[in-house]
Structure 1
Amino acid sequence: MTDRVVDLNALAEISGRMNLRKPNQQAVYSIATALYAYYNQERGEPPMESLVVSATGVGKTYILAATIEYMARVEGIRNFAVITPGRTILNKTVANFTPGHPKSMLHIMETAPVVITADNFDSPAMRAAMDDPMQVKLYIFTVQSLTKPTTQLGRRTHEFREGLGEAFYEHLHGLDDLFIFADEHHCYFSPAFSRTIRELEPYALIGLTATPHPNTRDEDMIFKYPLSAAVAEKLVKTPVIVGRRDDRRDPYTQLTDGARLLELKARAISIWCSAHQLQPIHPVMLVVAQSINEANEYAQYMESTTFMDGRFAGAILTVHSNAPDDALEKLETVEEPNSPIRIIISVGMLKEGWDVKNVYVLASMRASVSDILTEQTLGRGLRLPFGQYTGEEMLDTLEVLAHERYDDLLRRTGLMNEQLRDHRVQMLVHRDESGNTVVRRDESQGPLPDQPWQAQRPVADIPERAKESEHAWDTSPSGETTTNETTDTKGSGSYSKGSGFAIVDTDTRLEESQRIVETVRDMQPNPSLPRIELPVVKMIPVPVPFSLADITDVEPFRALGRNLARDPEETLRRKRVEATIEIDTSGLRHTKVLIRDAAETVYVQPSFLPSEDIADELVSAVVHCEAVVERESEIRSARRLVDEMMDAMGGSAVTVLSAYLETAKAKLVQLVTKEASRLARPPMENTTVRVRPFMPVRQTRLDATEDKYGAFEKGRAYAGWRKSLYEQVWFDSSPERDMANLLDESQDIVAWVRLHTNDLPILWSGEDLRRYNPDFIAIDTDNIHWIVEVKADRDMQASEVRAKMEAAKRWANHASDSKHVSVRWRYLLASEDTLRNAHGSWRNVLALA
């Protein structure tokens, strides 16, 4: 295994390609650093055992897949195993790594592990894969198949197999790089499991769970991301606990309240999806019954015409041990558009392994809300169906129907705060006073720090304002509640905020939800203003890959060698190496390595490394560079460039590089990345253009004002426009509103429109088909159609902003040059400073932008 702490370049590339959320990036980082600390600092013996705790809905499967990617790529591990507590999670995990499955992760992974299970390990194909030392294998088994040789599955894994020449369990025992993940780790606190796993002597055993077992030691957790943090950072829905003010606590009233909220949620989702041209989803209610008899009683009641006038007849699914065989099959399809299921009644079967995103109402019958908040039942409804917050409160919240009265819930707010509030844990790397690399375990209440390798990429094509949306019940970044006092936040009733949740009475919640969906109405474009004929420019990217063979001028590499050789002192200057992912104007993602002097200088006697080992290290750094596609031809080209650099260093190459190898690697990667950016060409595009009228239907918002110059409030609709195509407009930032005011009042502008996501998507990164959504279209008195983007001053020189600008200019050129388009299109990028100095004049904006 490698002796480096973390390969930041590899981790950044994996994080970007797999679109990892920040806590999931940090989890993989913590696993890698903990592994280094155990084997390099503590000199431990296998296995290295640790636990990763991540709140339900944040993406535990992504942590698993990304760790496989990293360990296979950086550490050369070829044998991974996932142990599951039962068949349900086993089937889910197999699906995650099955090509073509709707829930497969393989399309964002470079590693293509062969999945081996208790059902197929004895086949000739699997035996061939197990014998291939280069093939990455992923063994997926239930804990029972490994720990219980008395069962049929257990006998299959423990008995001698002629094709293997040994029992399968013994085959696993003989692997010196077996990396085991114990999924739902809290289920395995038994001597039998511990004994079985330890006898395998794996290289590493990483537990994954959202709810650690009460007997878990704090020091065993190398990463912990609690639910309160996930809610505060908008990675899961905000739970809204709904309790009645009156004494009606019978289950039928609770079910009716839940169904009414579900219908209002469905209406709000339909309106929002229609406005943003997205496929609508069907929200469902999950009812957790206490017994099979109770579940059947509820199902019979809700199927009848007595319940909600029969609107849910045929839409009820009951899941328990006595349910029909097809119940579980129907359960797996509840997210599909044609699924008729709207209410699911379960008896303790959906705590783990059922991961859907369209649960919007949760009713745990007769259970205390404290139990709901701390058990995994809550996690079934927390996942975000659109990938991130939409900015619409009804779409970003989970209704949790409480059996307790509202007043009782308020009195227990403090207790529930303590149940949800928790600290974070992560592994960090630092240097001690002697300059040695040290890994330490860090606990804090604060937000996760941005790592230098963190990749910034959008999650989904949903409104830009949702990415930093203000929410009615936000908690602070630390997961602490901003207030514990009862507040009237919506004007029609009492709400109380907690540490990652809100409490509201049933009547207020229903009235507020009803008011939202009834007040919203359709907005059509203003017929008195010019109609926009929008070109549809279809750009199909044809990538032009970069190769190290494209580097024909080796002088920069020889110059680097000469520069490195100029410092003959036997002084190993400590360096802090930082790596960030940047995107240049051609859309190419690349690694930027920043090398800074550390605080101290350490004097050492040089220890010489073999010349060939030095060259191998340098070649490895180059071929793992972000801009290089790792293949055999690139390794040969990298060797050519390394040889040129070392040749230019002359006789001092071994001496200098033995002392400065990490610095040399960083500088070499920096140079290769620079050359890749210089030599790369933008993706070639096969372009077609057609024209369609721009007439999307918008929906009005409840929170609206005509005060267009007052204090800016993100997400609020502003009205009273003269030249806007729509009567209400909302913005992501105050400068965007300033631009709208300027456009509306300028004598040089005849019409304008604030664009929404997918109104005008412009392909700007051919590498991964990312699209850019501009802010405005404005038509001037010369009938020039302007695409307008407003940015903060600090962002104007950002590589991503410049790349999007170039893409929009190319779009405008294609549109204007088309025979199907009769007007001229142009692009304008304006800063805050431009707006301040324009003094309300469009002509000044054109002069200054």
Structure 2
Amino acid sequence: MMSPLINAVSGRLSLRAPQAESLARLHSALESVPALRDPKARSPEELAAMTTALAAQFQTLSDFEREFPSLCFALATGVGKTRLMGAFISYLHAAYGYRHFFVLAPNLTIYDKLIRDFTPNTPKYVFKGISEFATNVPEVVTGDNYEQRGSRSLFGGIEVNIFNISKINSEVRGGRSPRIKRLSEYLGQSYFEYLAGLPDLVLIMDESHRYRASAGIRALNELKPLLGLELTATPFVEAKPKPIPFKNVIMDYPLGRAIEDGFVKEPAVVTQQNFDPSVHSAEALERVKLMDGVRVHEETKVYLLTYAQQTGEKFVKPFMLVIARDTSHAAALMALVQSEDFFHGRYKDKVIQVDSGTTSGAEGDEIVERLLGVENYDEPTEIVIHVNMLKEGWDVTNLYTIVPLRAANARTLIEQSIGRGLRLPYGRKTGVDEVDRLNIIAHDKFQEVIDEAGKGDSPIRMRSLQLAPDTGHGNELKSISVQPIMNVVTGTVTPGTSVVNGAAHDVKYGPDAPATVLWTSEERQIAQVAMDVIAEMSREKHQGQPLVHSSAALTQTEIRQQIAQRVRERIVPKQGELLTTETPPVEEIIKRTVAAFVEHTIDIPRITVVPKGPVTNGFKTFMLDISKMNYQPQDMALIGQGLSTGKQVLYGQSSAVLEDRLENYIVRELINYDDISYDDHAELLYGLAGQVIGHFSGYLKTEDELHNVLGNYGKTIAENIHMQMSQHYHEDVSESEVVVSQGFTPLKPCAFTAEGEILQIHQPPPERGKIAQYVYGGFTKCAYPVQKFHSDTERILATVLERDAICWFRPVAGQFSIYYRAGVNQPEYVPDFVASTEDVNLLIETKAAKDMELPEVKAKAEAAAQWCKNASDYSVQNGGKPWRYLLIPHDVVAANATLVSLEARFSMQ
């Protein structure tokens, strides 16, 4: 059974499955072999006994390989090793009270990154979610401040020491003692001796494969830590004739599994079809690989653009990484890429050279700034040429094409090149191959890489699947079914019931003791039957109109009598079971039930707009956005193979038919879409295709190059054009009829996941970026006892509604049946809020001020405003209130704003 503490840490830190499994394995090792926690049990015999005991659990462990117990966790790049460090520290402190940790980095890049990630209020803070560390922040001691460290750890706090092993190595050379062993003023002894004397010092070694045989590691043995925890993506030491695997691995999550589980990109090695590297000189081969890399890069750029436009996700600018032999080679490559001979000089301002000769001085500062900003969509860099500087710790997510031009064997190429580009820009697989793939241009090493990836000891290897008992790694989030306040008040449904792992549990998301207007169980059962009857009557028609025009009509004597009659018919057959010998007064119960229903609801009519005449549709003429289309002609089709799946991919589909008119390459692909008719849309299609031809003609010099690009990329170009056409789709109806099938609809229960205590509406969230995880209550006017918000702006607006509205709530899907136009599709729109005042009913949407003019926002607003017009026509005709739609920018929402003012400023007609 999984430890409750492991579950708690995994849940609070939102660990991925392999991270949670690593933490569970550490827990299992420490609990099953208590000697690991005994600082005095460190003789060779005792260490051997520990490894023997652990080997029974972990088949990949046979030796600690150090003078202290050390356990290795081999996790693929991109899975999240730094986050796992935070989980280790949190668990060891909570479980055993350990307070002293020594985190070792292999180089300056990772050293700086670790300091950042262990610093509160940074984007990737490793302890985010651990409440204890919010008030008792762990002290970070670095290689630059350890001589002036504070005394926080003396008072029970955690001390995280972060050091750079390359710094220690440089100080060891020549037999000098590392600076951490020099005397300091702290406690009158050297800081090294202080660390070595700690009984609970845990050594965490990041990228441990980088310094297994280094000189500084001897100093680490002298630290005599209680426990060592190693993290690496490559658990082996390079040696001849073959690599030597680590002997202390207790968790192995290789790249093959990470790819299969969707945590990283799918790497593919790319070459040209039928390519023979032997017929090319070394210089010519490099030029071919560089140019083919650019072609793949440009194709990827368009796929990413299309995906972002189709889904509304952020725009991602891909870049290409070129790995040079040395600084002279890098400078020559830089000159080539910036020359007119390389795609007519189009990349001369989009390339940077990163090496020891270019990253110093004022100009070097600009290069470093561009490198650090390469993930920004508006930053111009698309090609980075580097010499062995961008290693572990460079965590970009938009690297999509790698061109290795440094001599290396196939295994090194896989290990070093792939690792830098595995991270996914959206944090997950999208299902679009081109968006989820990393391309490695390796014409001369193609078959070698394919063969190497297929070997059993390759970093990319497939896992064997074995079913194991459920260990319960998952977070115990509760699935909450929230009933409307109406049901709570009448006592017809027990509030706050949740389902966790298939079993019901009581939770604190409903009122502790609801004040019901009905008291006995018999009365509550009659009220439930009355609610069922009301729901039925709301759907019934009389002469083509709703039988009950509004919830207020339920209070009319005639309607109440009909409800009472139907209720009696249903309870009489069950008199002996349902009611006691003294029959409760049905009419009185129904009166109170109806009064509660009217008080705690907002009448939402069910409206359908039905066309009465002919419907015409089509696409409006528009100008294409083709600024990011920069395809290059191909000498031969490029072919790639996935290193994990073995699937082959063609980059650019060469046309077998030479068209006599350039536009036909695109038009023939467009007419394959179901919503495009050649007869109806030919003029528009040729006009759009002509825009593309004009764009390509601006940088392609010959008609042969145009035929080449259009023949190879016609299908991809057409896909992007079709996506843009869908944004200009129109549908015209000569006449339509508004049909109101229901005057009101009983509120639906809503469901959501929840964890933690209920927060009061006036209480800001502990972390604004995580407000969607919190549940809010303490309402007096909301139609539901609790609500969740997507932003703090929504929470603040809810405080305004609590003060100024009669009733309000956040609707769920299906309550309004509002549909807006999104190209050829019509998705449902669910507004943020619905509220009622003395004079008007309101649909309310809040948006970031910068998003107010987005086409989707405008389309939703137009659909909602039209719905409000139709609802007003019906409601006013039947004695009700008009409806208004408010679209409010976030920067005007404040607790002191009034609903009347917001309505006056932002109501849409």
- TM-score, normalised via structure 1 length: 0.55
Deviation at 1:689, TM superposition (A): 12
Deviation at 1:526, TM superposition (A): 3.4
> Are 1:343 and 2:343 an aligned pair?
no
Distance 1:496 1:378, change over 3 A: closer
> Are 1:419 and 2:458 an aligned pair?
yes
Alpha-carbon separation, structure 2, partners of 1:411 and 1:754: 47
Deviation at 1:267, TM superposition (A): 2.4
Alpha-carbon separation, structure 2, partners of 1:212 and 1:86: 18
Distance 1:516 1:191, change over 3 A: closer
Report if aligned partners of 2:640, 2:651 keep a CA contact under 8 Å in 1: no
Aligned partner of 2:720 in structure 1 is 520
Gaps of 5+ in 1: 425-443, 458-491, 532-583, 591-625, 629-675, 691-722, 730-751, 764-772, 786-813, 825-849
Q: Which of 794, 806, 821 lines up with 1:725 in the alignment?
A: 821
Report if aligned partners of 1:526, 1:726 keep a CA contact under 8 Å in 2: no
> Are 1:92 and 2:113 an aligned pair?
yes
1:417-566 correspondence runs (5 A): 419-422=458-461, 445-446=465-466, 451-455=471-475, 498-500=643-645, 502-504=647-649, 508=653, 515-521=715-721, 522=724, 523-524=726-727, 526-528=730-732
Alpha-carbon separation, structure 1, partners of 2:186 and 2:246: 44
Report if aligned partners of 2:142, 2:161 keep a CA contact under 8 Å in 1: yes
Report if aligned partners of 1:79, 1:137 keep a CA contact under 8 Å in 2: yes
- Tell me the alpha carbon deviations over residues 413-445 of structure 1, each in whole angstroms, 9 at most, x when there is no partner: 874686345476xxxxxxxxxxxxxxxxxxx54
SS of aligned partner of 1:77: coil
Deviation at 1:279, TM superposition (A): 3.3
Report if aligned partners of 2:269, 2:640 keep a CA contact under 8 Å in 1: no
- Tell me the alpha carbon deviations over residues 230-259 of structure 1, each in whole angstroms, 9 at most, x when there is no partner: 111111011122111234661111111111
Which AA in structure 1 matches 2:821? Answer: L
Aligned partner of 1:114 in structure 2 is 139
Aligned partner of 1:358 in structure 2 is 398
Report if aligned partners of 1:180, 1:206 keep a CA contact under 8 Å in 2: yes
Q: Which of 170, 195, 199 lines up with 1:172 in the alignment?
A: 195
Report if aligned partners of 1:227, 1:500 keep a CA contact under 8 Å in 2: no
Alpha-carbon separation, structure 2, partners of 1:306 and 1:756: 54
Q: Which of 2, 7, 13 lines up with 2:8 in the alignment?
A: 13
Report if aligned partners of 1:241, 1:504 keep a CA contact under 8 Å in 2: no
Which AA in structure 2 matches 1:29? Answer: A
Aligned partner of 2:249 in structure 1 is 221
> Are 1:210 and 2:239 an aligned pair?
no
Which AA in structure 1 matches 2:376? Answer: E
Aligned partner of 1:261 in structure 2 is 296
Alpha-carbon separation, structure 1, partners of 2:831 and 2:755: 23
Aligned partner of 1:62 in structure 2 is 83
- Tell me the alpha carbon deviations over residues 159-180 of structure 1, each in whole angstroms, 9 at most, x when there is no partner: 1112341111111111111111
Q: Which of 752, 755, 760 lines up with 1:589 in the alignment?
A: 755
Which AA in structure 2 matches 1:388? Answer: R
Deviation at 1:144, TM superposition (A): 4.5
1:613-692 correspondence runs (5 A): 682=787, 685-687=795-797
What is the number of residues matched between the two proteins? 537
Alpha-carbon separation, structure 1, partners of 2:820 and 2:316: 31
Report if aligned partners of 1:372, 1:378 keep a CA contact under 8 Å in 2: no
Aligned partner of 2:54 in structure 1 is none
Alpha-carbon separation, structure 1, partners of 2:436 and 2:413: 17
Q: CA RMSD in A?
A: 4.7
Report if aligned partners of 1:276, 1:757 keep a CA contact under 8 Å in 2: no
SS of aligned partner of 1:519: helix
Deviation at 1:104, TM superposition (A): 3.8
Which AA in structure 2 matches 1:362? Answer: I
Report if aligned partners of 2:411, 2:449 keep a CA contact under 8 Å in 1: no
Higher mean alpha-carbon deviation, 754-763 vs 414-423, is at: 754-763
Report if aligned partners of 2:410, 2:448 keep a CA contact under 8 Å in 1: no
Aligned partner of 1:140 in structure 2 is 162
Alpha-carbon separation, structure 2, partners of 1:497 and 1:217: 25
> Are 1:753 and 2:827 an aligned pair?
yes
Distance 1:210 1:168, change over 3 A: same
Aligned partner of 1:185 in structure 2 is 208
Alpha-carbon separation, structure 2, partners of 1:203 and 1:97: 22
Report if aligned partners of 1:78, 1:137 keep a CA contact under 8 Å in 2: yes
Distance 1:528 1:818, change over 3 A: farther
Alpha-carbon separation, structure 1, partners of 2:445 and 2:145: 53
Distance 1:154 1:7, change over 3 A: farther
Gaps of 5+ in 2: 43-67, 238-242, 478-636, 655-708, 737-749, 760-777, 779-783, 790-794, 801-818, 834-842, 847-855, 873-898
SS of aligned partner of 2:33: helix
Alpha-carbon separation, structure 1, partners of 2:372 and 2:468: 34
Which AA in structure 1 matches 2:249? Answer: M
Deviation at 1:74, TM superposition (A): 2.7
Report if aligned partners of 1:288, 1:348 keep a CA contact under 8 Å in 2: yes
> Are 1:323 and 2:318 an aligned pair?
no
Alpha-carbon separation, structure 2, partners of 1:299 and 1:260: 18
SS of aligned partner of 2:94: helix
Report if aligned partners of 2:272, 2:638 keep a CA contact under 8 Å in 1: no
Alpha-carbon separation, structure 1, partners of 2:140 and 2:114: 10
Deviation at 1:128, TM superposition (A): 1.8
Distance 1:209 1:180, change over 3 A: same
Report if aligned partners of 2:321, 2:385 keep a CA contact under 8 Å in 1: yes
Which AA in structure 2 matches 1:180? Answer: L
Aligned partner of 1:234 in structure 2 is 262
Higher mean alpha-carbon deviation, 225-234 vs 37-46, is at: 37-46
SS of aligned partner of 1:394: coil
Alpha-carbon separation, structure 1, partners of 2:291 and 2:468: 41
Alpha-carbon separation, structure 1, partners of 2:868 and 2:417: 60
Deviation at 1:16, TM superposition (A): 2.8
Alpha-carbon separation, structure 2, partners of 1:366 and 1:351: 15
- Tell me the alpha carbon deviations over residues 51-96 of structure 1, each in whole angstroms, 9 at most, x when there is no partner: 0101111111111122122222232221111111222211111111
Distance 1:498 1:375, change over 3 A: closer
Q: Which of 257, 263, 277 lines up with 2:312 in the alignment?
A: 277
Deviation at 1:452, TM superposition (A): 1.3
Distance 1:6 1:298, change over 3 A: same
Distance 1:186 1:300, change over 3 A: same
- Tell me the alpha carbon deviations over residues 508-542 of structure 1, each in whole angstroms, 9 at most, x when there is no partner: 599776632442231135343799xxxxxxxxxxx
Aligned partner of 2:339 in structure 1 is 304
SS of aligned partner of 2:252: strand
> Are 1:160 and 2:183 an aligned pair?
yes
Deviation at 1:191, TM superposition (A): 7.0
Which AA in structure 2 matches 1:134? Answer: G
Alpha-carbon separation, structure 1, partners of 2:315 and 2:467: 33
Distance 1:416 1:320, change over 3 A: farther
Which AA in structure 2 matches 1:61? Answer: T
Report if aligned partners of 1:146, 1:169 keep a CA contact under 8 Å in 2: no
SS of aligned partner of 1:257: helix
Q: Which of 66, 71, 74 lines up with 2:95 in the alignment?
A: 74
Alpha-carbon separation, structure 1, partners of 2:434 and 2:476: 27
Aligned partner of 1:668 in structure 2 is none
Distance 1:405 1:94, change over 3 A: closer
Report if aligned partners of 2:85, 2:126 keep a CA contact under 8 Å in 1: no
Deviation at 1:399, TM superposition (A): 1.1
Aligned partner of 2:433 in structure 1 is 393
> Are 1:48 and 2:88 an aligned pair?
no
Distance 1:283 1:142, change over 3 A: same
Alpha-carbon separation, structure 1, partners of 2:157 and 2:28: 25
